[in-house]
Amino acid sequence: MKSHDVHLDSKYTQWIAEVKDRYRRAQIKAAVKVNAEQLRFNWQLGRDLVIKKAEEKWGTGVVEQVSLDLKAEFPDVTGFSTTNLWYMKKWYLFYASAETDREAFDSLTGLQGNGQKLHHLGGERNYPERLHQSGGEIEFPLLLSYVPWRHHIEIITKCKSLDEALFYIRKTIENGYSRSALLNVIEADYYHTSGAAITNYSDRLPMPQAQLAQEIMKGNYDLGFITLPANYDEKALENALEQNITRFLLELGTGFAFVGRQKEIVVSGKTRKIDLLFYHIRLRCYVVVELKVTAFEPEFAGKLNFYVSAVDELIKAADDNPTIGLLICKDMDRTEVQWSFRNVSTPLGVATYSNVQIANMEAVLPTAEQIAERVRQVEEEFNLSREAAEKEQ
């Protein structure tokens, strides 16, 4: 083997890192292109089954026959099952049956004309094609090509409207949801709950941070993954959320990173503790979360305002965006919350929580037989100890 006289320096390291990054981007682009072509094929086959009225023309078993013919011709290709072909037809019909114009489709997908772009997969992607009728057929919308096929099946199966489907498509593109993550947000009904918190973000934050902050805050958080006793307090709720922090982060939504619980801050020599502190990656700011196991009271806003101000002064870095606050309580009156936000200078929001599982105390407490057995064990241990002491004497 021929030896090489190589002298590596920082410039080489930087260059080879750029080469590796370019190759990764090329791989991603290739994968996206393959996915787009496969989805276009699925769309066109579903369209053919509809437009050609295949079942009326060739009989009710024609889809099964198409499946057999395609499998025979392409034995090594997956995706030609009868079930999958039915999904292709359903996928096309889902969008073909929706009466929508270009303006409605653009607003739902976040497009503002041909030049609007979404950031995804490490780069910018244009979405110039739109749903529109052409001779009774609907052309394949390029937007759909950025979502995997199995995601599309879940979306058209579980969504009840075009608006809802496009919402989850956009979220999948923006956040890179896996199929399991997509199922989680659909199950949590993120379409109806996201952006529903009562906030003053639009008045206290610059755009587009205000819009994004409002969008990610739910009006209600489903805490059905924790179990607490009937008379639980805030400390017990905090403990349960910390022990189930992974599930709580999923419920909060994409982008939240857990910083700590009971985060200490010292103001004028006095130690204060924040219930939960997070950092949001996309907002690039700290998020102070306060928990209350009772209904909202106006004084809660003042305390949250204090903590947000303290984080801005003591923790926030110069390149961080302004800290935002979120109070999660058992219940609230909308008017009380809105009035409490008047003249408050920091960005605050209030939401509720629900579905905490209450422990069955009968299942937790020991039975009479278990208590009697424990008493017997204690008496036996006491007698043995006494006998041992008498022998030593």
Please compute, for residue 223, the number of CA atoms within 13 A of its CA located in the half-sphere on the CB side.
Answer: 27
Rounded to a whole number of angstroms, the CA Rg of the chain reads: 29
* Parallel, antiparallel or unpaired: strands 227-228 and 357-358: parallel
Q: What is the pLDDT of residues 223-240, one digit of tens each?
A: 999 999 988 999 999 999
Q: How confident is the model at residue 362 (pLDDT cuts 50, 70, 90)?
A: low
Summarised one tens digit per residue, pLDDT across range 300-334 is 999 999 999 999 999 999 999 999 999 999 999 99
Alpha-carbon span 160 to 166, nearest angstrom: 11
How much of the chain exceeds pLDDT 70, in percent? 84
SS3 1: coil
For residues 20, 149, 196 and 319, what is the CA-based torsion angle, rounded to 10 degrees?
A: 0
Q: What is the mean pLDDT of the chain?
A: 82
> Which residues neighbour 183 within 8 Å (Cβ) at sequence distance 6 or greater?
154
**Which of 19-28, 68-77, 140-149 has the weakest average pLDDT?**
19-28
| Residue 364's pLDDT band (cuts 50, 70, 90) | low
Length, in residues, of the chain: 393
Query: Looking at the DSSP assignment, which residues form a beta bridge with residue 199?
Result: 349
Q: Rounded to two decimals, what is the model's pTM? A: 0.57
**Within the chain, where are the H helices?**
10-51, 54-58, 62-73, 82-96, 102-109, 149-158, 162-175, 179-187, 190-193, 201-204, 209-216, 234-243, 245-252, 298-314, 334-340, 361-364, 368-392
- H or E element at residue 351: strand 348-354
Nearest CA-CA partner of 121 in 15, 36, 190, 216:
36
Residue 365 is predicted with a pLDDT of 58
DSSP notation for 240-270: HHHHTHHHHHHHH-TTEEEEEEEEEEEETTE
Amino acid (one-letter) located at 388: A
Q: Residue 367 pLDDT > 80, yes or no? A: no
Q: What is the DSSP string of 23-85?
A: HHHHHHHHHHHHHHHHHHHHHHHHHHHHHTTHHHHH-TTHHHHHHHHHHHH-TT----SHHHH
pLDDT of 136: 54
pLDDT confidence bin for 356, thresholds 50/70/90: very high
